[in-house]
């Protein structure tokens, strides 16, 4: 995803967050098209490219996903957040994704599992689990 | 010898004793320790790394040991209590007696999925959710909203599988364990029951819902049923397998118990049928 697209989505996302969820759908569609293009661009690179980054507002929540480094690489090499709070993601052996919020149900992409977490949260805030 | 019974057959007294023991473990903080331990394994068990509690051959012996430890804590409160099991192939309704106000309480309300009936309702002040992925302090359920319960025919198809587990020993494996755990196969057995209940049961902190114990007790019973049907089918893998718990390897977090130690449940308890 180019920085221009990212900036545009962030700016639009800010407006959407103020205006409410009704405007979220077009933003989400734009992000999906961007993600599809990114996947296609890297299809000849032997699979190291991984899923596309995203940055959008879904149901009034800012969701961001991007390739990860360090310890997160073991969990599929991708991190996601909802309103700036980390959503723990994990990739399954078949390429599908789960999160700590939807742990027993698989989703095709990090974007899909992050949106599913927003649906389940019903406006609640993610918190780090006390250990 | 302790006998674990079908929850549908429990007397009013047996239900009350089980619920009271749960509430006492919650009050003392022992209960939340189990929630925390479960989530730590959920977060660290990966398909390509070390895996002990989930998506691996030791899913069944790990949970058997986890349930025994929990049952022992219940029995410190009330020696008459054993874990009941929920046969969701039979008791499949959102209004089955398991969800009654005298037992686990009912479905969450539509506005916020909050469970408002029974002994685990937030309004009782006795069941705050302390180990959580979000800032909601109340137990949630969305019965039936996210999945179908597995059918008896789907369970029977999995019980007919003759091999316990297979390489790559993770969520992509063929065999009994992974089809029962539900990362693949018709009905997605164990996983889809978590999703059917919804709320915390669909998350890494699923033991926040007492239904966790009744669900996993039935999964444990299905393992015992499978062993009886296939007496010559061993636990696999036997030895020398990277990242997973072989037959005689010890399991975290206890480090003193192996799958081999867990194969015969009748050393610890029996089932009513």
Which helix (H) or strand (E) segment holds residue B3: the answer is: strand B3-4
Q: What are the tens digits of pLDDT across the range B116-149?
A: 999 999 999 999 999 999 999 999 999 999 999 9
Confidence of residue A69 (pLDDT cuts 50, 70, 90): confident
Residue A127 lies in a domain: no
- Mean pLDDT of chain B, nearest integer: 98
Average pLDDT value for chain A: 71
In a domain, A103, yes or no: yes
Is the pLDDT at A75 greater than 80? The verdict is no
Residues 6 or more apart in contact with residue B124 via CB below 8 angstroms = none
Is B203 in contact with A101 (Cβ distance < 8 A)? Answer: yes
Over the stretch B183-233, which tens digit does the pLDDT of each residue have? 999 999 999 999 999 999 999 999 999 999 999 999 999 999 999 999 999
> What ipTM did this prediction achieve?
0.94
Least confident residue range of A10-24, A64-78, B79-93: A10-24
A59 and A30 in a single domain? The answer is no
Considering the domain architecture, whether residues A86 and A116 belong to the same structural domain is answered as: yes
A5 has a pLDDT exceeding 80: no
Domain assignment of residue A131, yes or no: no
- Please give the share of chain A, as a percent, with pLDDT higher than 90: 51
B86 in contact with A, Cβ within 8 Å: no
Q: Does A88 touch chain B (CB under 8 A)?
A: yes
Residue B257's Cβ-count burial label (10 Å; 0-12, 13-18, 19+) is: middle
pTM: 0.88
Question: Percent of chain B at pLDDT above 70?
Answer: 100
Amino acid A19: pLDDT = 36
Range of the domain at A3: 1-40
For residue A130, tell me if it sits in a domain.
no
Mutate which of B133, B142, B185 to disrupt the A interface (most A C-beta within 10 Å)?
A: B133
B235-260 confidence digits (pLDDT tens): 999 999 999 999 999 999 999 999 99
Mean pLDDT of B60-76: 98
Residue A47 has pLDDT above 50, yes or no: no
CATH number at residue A93: 3.30.1880.10
CATH hierarchy code of domain B2-271:
1.10.1280.10
For residue A25, what pLDDT is reported? 37
Q: What angle do CA B31, B32, B35 make, to 5 degrees?
A: 100
Q: For residues B163-177, give the mean pLDDT.
A: 98
Structural domain tally of chain A? 2
Those of residues 105-134 in B touching chain A at CB distance below 8 A are: 112-113, 130-134
Pair (A36, A81) in one structural domain: no
Residue A31 has pLDDT above 50, yes or no: no
Q: How many contacts, defined by CB atoms under 8 Å, are there between A and B?
A: 80
Q: Are residues A80 and A36 in the same domain?
A: no
């Amino acid at each position: 995803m180019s920085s221009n697209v990212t900036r545009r989505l962030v700016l639009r996302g800010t407006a959407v967050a103020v205006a409410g969820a009704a405007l979220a759908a077009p933003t989400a569609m734009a992000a999906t098209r961007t993600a599809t293009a990114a996947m296609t661009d890297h299809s000849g690179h032997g699979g190291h490219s991984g899923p596309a980054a995203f940055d959008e507002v879904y149901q009034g929540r800012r969701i961001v996903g991007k390739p990860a480094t360090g310890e997160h690489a073991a969990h599929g090499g991708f991190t996601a957040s909802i309103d700036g709070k980390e959503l723990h993601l994990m990739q399954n052996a078949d390429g599908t994704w789960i999160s700590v919020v939807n742990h027993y149900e698989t989703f095709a992409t990090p974007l899909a599992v992050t949106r599913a977490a927003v649906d389940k949260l019903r406006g609640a805030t993610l918190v780090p689990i006390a250990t | 010898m302790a006998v674990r019974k079908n929850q549908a057959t429990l007397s009013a007294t047996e239900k009350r004793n089980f619920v009271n023991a749960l509430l006492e473990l919650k009050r003392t903080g022992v209960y939340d320790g189990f929630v925390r331990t479960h989530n730590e394994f959920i977060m660290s068990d990966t398909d390509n790394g070390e895996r002990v509690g989930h998506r691996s051959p030791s899913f069944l012996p790990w949970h058997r040991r986890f349930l025994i430890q929990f049952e022992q804590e219940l029995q410190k409160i009330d020696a008459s209590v054993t874990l009941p099991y929920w046969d969701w192939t039979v008791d499949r309704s959102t209004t089955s007696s398991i969800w009654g106000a005298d037992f686990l309480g009912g479905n969450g309300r539509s506005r916020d999925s909050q469970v408002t009936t029974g002994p685990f309702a937030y309004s009782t002040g006795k069941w705050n959710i302390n180990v959580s992925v979000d800032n909601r302090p109340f137990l949630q359920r969305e019965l039936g909203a996210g999945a179908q319960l597995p059918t008896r025919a789907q369970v029977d198809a999995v019980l007919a599988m003759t091999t316990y587990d297979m390489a790559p020993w993770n969520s992509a494996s063929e065999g009994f364990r992974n089809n029962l755990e539900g990362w693949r196969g018709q009905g997605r057995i164990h996983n889809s029951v978590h999703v059917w209940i919804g709320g915390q049961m669909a998350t890494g902190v699923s033991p926040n819902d007492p239904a966790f114990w009744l669900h996993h007790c039935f999964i444990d019973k299905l393992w015992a049923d499978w062993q009886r049907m296939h007496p010559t089918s061993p636990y696999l893998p036997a030895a020398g397998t990277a990242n997973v718990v072989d037959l005689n390897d010890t399991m975290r977090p206890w480090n003193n118990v192996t799958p081999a130690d867990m194969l015969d449940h009748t050393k610890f308890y029996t089932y009513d049928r």
